[in-house]
Amino acid sequence: MTSKVRKTLRRMIAAAAAVASLMSVAACGGASSSTAADGTVVSIFNGTTGTFNENFNPFSPTALGPTLGVIYETLFWYNLASDEDPKPMLATGYRWNEDGSELTITTREGVKWQDGEPFSAADVAFTFNLIHDTPALNTNGTAATAEVLDSNHVKIIFSKGKNPAKFKGAYMQEGGILGGQGIVPEHIWKNIKDPMNYTNANPIGTGAFKLNRFTPQSYSFEAFKDYWGGAPKIDGVRYIALNDASAATSTLMAGQVDWMSAYIPSYQMLLKNYPRIAAVNTPRLTTVVMTCSNADAGCKGPQTDTAVRQAIYYGMNRTQLNKLAGAGSGAIGSPTMLMPDRDAKWIADDDLKYTPETEDQDKAKQILDEAGWKMGKDGYRYKNGEKLSMTIQTVAGWSDYILINDTLKQQLKPLGIEIVSTQMAWNQWNDNEQKGNYQLSLDSLGLGVTSDPYYTYNPRYHSDQMTKVGETSGGQNYARYANRTVDDAIEAAASTEDENERKAQYAIVQKEIANDVPYIPVYINSMLTEFNTDKVTGWPTEDDMYALPAAWKAWDMGIILQHLEPKQ
């Protein structure tokens, strides 16, 4: 996101009980409860189980999903579902100076904030200067200040570092500046004393929908009639939370949710029995065993040993995991953490293009033996008195991930590795990752702003995006990974327009992270999204993927809601 660019809401899964109910629930389903008396209101389940924590701060890694795209907007929008130029949003043009140290942006005229105040270049300059002056907000590693030229032009000025003579341009900052940052209103945020921890209960953005009600169980938006792109065709949006993910499928069948992203093993049967439900699949997220990998950052446990992470990598039978938990619909991932199909040109070493599909127990055992992990009488390994035992967390109700954890436990036991699976509410699971209070966590890594690997590597692997355990992470380096060689290569790639030179630097990153595996890839998830077509039209289709359709996808969700129209 995933994604974020900040961490987006993670995918969820329908439980087997809900799938079984396909056979017993009447094919016509119930009437939708989200066509309200006050107009057409689209109901969305974007994966939140339990309750919502009120947070609409666009700088916060725990902001609620629609904060980015529905409320706040970027200067441009990048559609990662297709190969096309970015779409102008709050900006209409941009140009670099000759040495790549300044980016001049032309902002859109006639835009209003949701409180009626006019939007201008001053808001853009304020946003980026606020990020510059508040390091905790700098999740994209932006090293820039901003200067207002006039009401519709702003100049972004990039630091040339400690050695300006070696500066080759800040061109790789372009995607993050243009498409990865929500712009905030200066007239409101200039008075916020603690922008990192501000929950922003009354958010004012430029988006097409404005918050009108919040409860821990649901919250809703009304159409912003003065939206610069024209008033939305639907009257509102409602986000709901469910007690657990098992309820998702039955809620969809009952017509009580219009949009959700959930993998349903028997979804073809559902589509056959419920003609009003449509679905698209866009696999773009890699399921990973995330590790708190860095002992120097405060991580504790055997997973801080590179050899243990490598043994888990080689000890997995990914074909079995895909078959059991993903019904065989997952795609083969890569230790480079790129998409082998979309990103083939960026993967330097063919040996790193794909993960192994079956286990190599001999190799895993050899790695552990050489690292000093000795087999004990109880069938588990020990080193310096420490048992090779780790706890892996996931969200209660995410049945596919629970099944992966349980299967991993069995796959790794012959190696002498003990895996203890634990389940919890989404809020606790997410907070644990943010603060590093975990050993292993099953998660999925989302997409960058653009398909360039910089937006995969910089947020997750650069040490600048890392915080110590116990501190909330503003970036996406939840593994607390730190490697100076990787940092240098990422920085070198960021400073050049030469694609071949960037490829050479990414090759260095790929070699290091494939060895260190702070995020251990499992497979590329199915990203199945379901829609109710009875109420509104305009959903993305396989033939018209005008946006990534996942119900939790930052920025794209705003684009999709603007496309929807009441069905006549």
Domain hosting residue 271, numbered range: 12-52+241-281+529-566
> How confident is the prediction for the chain on average, in pLDDT?
89
Mark whether 507 and 551 lie in a shared domain: no
69 contact partners, CB below 8 Å, separation of at least 6: 207, 553, 554, 555, 556, 557, 558, 559
**Domain annotation covers residue 497:** yes
Mark whether 479 and 374 lie in a shared domain: yes
pLDDT band for 15, please (50, 70, 90 cuts). Answer: very low
Domain stop point among 189, 210, 229: 189
Regarding predicted confidence, which is higher, 20 or 308?
A: 308
201 contact partners, CB below 8 Å, separation of at least 6: 54, 56, 214
pLDDT greater than 90 at residue 38: no
| d(C-alpha 61, C-alpha 395), whole Å | 18
| d(C-alpha 283, C-alpha 339), whole Å | 9
pLDDT digits (tens, 9 = 90+) for 244-269: 666 888 888 888 999 998 777 777 88
Tell me the CB-side half-sphere exposure of residue 260, using CA atoms within 13 A.
32
**Domain annotation covers residue 535:** yes
Give the pLDDT score at 474. Answer: 66
Average pLDDT over every residue of 340-354:
93
Q: Which residue stretches of 413-498 are H helix?
A: 426-435, 454-461, 484-494
| d(C-alpha 381, C-alpha 366), whole Å | 13
Give the pLDDT score at 245. Answer: 62
Mark whether 314 and 408 lie in a shared domain: yes
Measured between its terminal Cα atoms, the distance across the chain in Å is 34
Two tokens at 405? 């954890």
**Domain annotation covers residue 103:** yes
Mark whether 329 and 247 lie in a shared domain: no
369 contact partners, CB below 8 Å, separation of at least 6: none
pLDDT greater than 60 at residue 545: yes
Tell me the CB-side half-sphere exposure of residue 213, using CA atoms within 13 A.
12
> Any idea what the CATH number is for the domain that residue 555 is in?
3.40.190.10
Residue 389 β-bridge partners: 418
Mark whether 445 and 544 lie in a shared domain: no
pLDDT greater than 80 at residue 171: yes
Give the pLDDT score at 411. Answer: 98
Q: Provide the number of structural domains found in the chain.
A: 3
Provide φ and ψ at 334, rounded to 5°: -140, 140
> Any idea what the CATH number is for the domain that residue 107 is in?
3.90.76.10
**Domain annotation covers residue 218:** no
Two tokens at 88? 């102008």
Mark whether 368 and 465 lie in a shared domain: yes
Mark whether 509 and 550 lie in a shared domain: no
Mark whether 316 and 378 lie in a shared domain: yes
In residues, how long is the chain?
568
**Domain annotation covers residue 69:** no
**Domain annotation covers residue 436:** yes
Mark whether 246 and 325 lie in a shared domain: no
Is pTM beyond 0.85? Reply is no
**Domain annotation covers residue 228:** no
Residue 393 β-bridge partners: 422, 441
Regarding predicted confidence, which is higher, 188 or 427?
A: 188
pLDDT digits (tens, 9 = 90+) for 312-340: 999 999 999 998 888 787 889 999 999 89
Give the pLDDT score at 75. Answer: 98
Regarding predicted confidence, which is higher, 499 or 520?
A: 520
Mark whether 246 and 260 lie in a shared domain: yes
Mark whether 363 and 251 lie in a shared domain: no
Mark whether 130 and 246 lie in a shared domain: no
> Any idea what the CATH number is for the domain that residue 494 is in?
3.10.105.10
Asked which of 59-73, 168-182, 349-363, 512-526 is least confident by mean pLDDT, the reply is 168-182
**Domain annotation covers residue 420:** yes
Tell me the CB-side half-sphere exposure of residue 480, using CA atoms within 13 A.
27
Average pLDDT over every residue of 85-98:
95
